[in-house]
A and B are shown apart, each in its own frame.
Chain A
């Protein structure tokens, strides 16, 4: 087989680079912290920092306006996953009040080459995602919280991320103006 015949597929390489880089990061965190809970927290915090910046990229590229209701927000989040990770999670399990929904992932690019050892069952491997959502939503005046209810790494059929609306943040008054 000639070498030219098998050019690298840019999209595939990029996705693998992302997955492996993330894996390296998680490994390093596990080495640095003694407590798995701390690793979960740190991942969430990093996700938050990413989300805060990622939302600008999202808004600039989609030129989407403010969400009128939480349903619209859910669709935008779905769109974001498509745009940045190339996956389309399903939106289901709306709470009766309409302030909670679930994102169902059939596949999760973050965990592509991952297996959890038995002694790390408390580790929320993909915990960067809830952080990203929280950071991104906070920048558009929405306080949300999100967490994993199902995880493929822990033997579930799919990965389920629950998102809950907490409150609308009011525009802060600029310093010096009362």
Chain B
């Protein structure tokens, strides 16, 4: 058992490391994209691997919506100690997962202060979702939207070929 605060500190260190190692460029806009995508990639790898172990003994999910529900309830509450507060979909492959108190933002702010730093704390989780879904057979794009901390909306866009 690893304590949740340990995971939170480790996550913070990963964010710090990725930013520090990309920050030497003069062009800040370029490095912003670069570190977000690195963090997203790290999340992807982690999500891909963890789902492989978690769902080993589960019967296959019936459809896409079932998979999303699993993600919002069981998966989310196992790693972030709470369920997703709201799941919405247009039934055409777009899902919006809303977490009103996202773990990595909860200790940062409860209003608009530090809002500019929010993307770096949600990028890893975007990747985590994408990696998890990818291993469950769903290819998608995941982006996050933070209007007011600590609430966070994850937009999942399923790509159908």
Chain A residues 21-74 with CB under 8 Å of chain B are 21-25, 27-29, 32, 42, 46, 49-50, 53-54, 57
Among B1, B11, B50, B53, the one with the most A-chain Cβ atoms within 10 Å of its Cβ is B1
Judge whether A25 and B7 touch: CB under 8 Å. Answer: no
The answer to the question of B112 belonging to the interface, with a C-beta cut-off of 8 Å to chain A, is no
Judge whether B21 and A21 touch: CB under 8 Å. Answer: no
The answer to the question of A169 belonging to the interface, with a C-beta cut-off of 8 Å to chain B, is no
Q: How far is the CA of A85 from the CA of B4 in the complex (A)?
A: 10
Write the nearest CB–CB distance from A120 to chain B, whole angstroms.
18
B interface residues, tally (CB under 8 Å): 33
Inter-chain residue pair count (beta carbon < 8 A) = 97
A interface residues, tally (CB under 8 Å): 39
Binding site for A on B (CB under 8 A): 1-7, 9-11, 13-14, 16-18, 21, 38, 42, 45-46, 49-50, 53-54, 57-59, 74-75, 77-79, 81
Task: Describe B's contact surface by its main secondary structure.
Answer: helix
Judge whether A86 and B2 touch: CB under 8 Å. Answer: yes
Using Cβ atoms and an 8 Å threshold, which residues of chain B touch A23?
46, 49
Binding site for B on A (CB under 8 A): 1-3, 6-25, 27-29, 32, 42, 46, 49-50, 53-54, 57, 83-86, 109
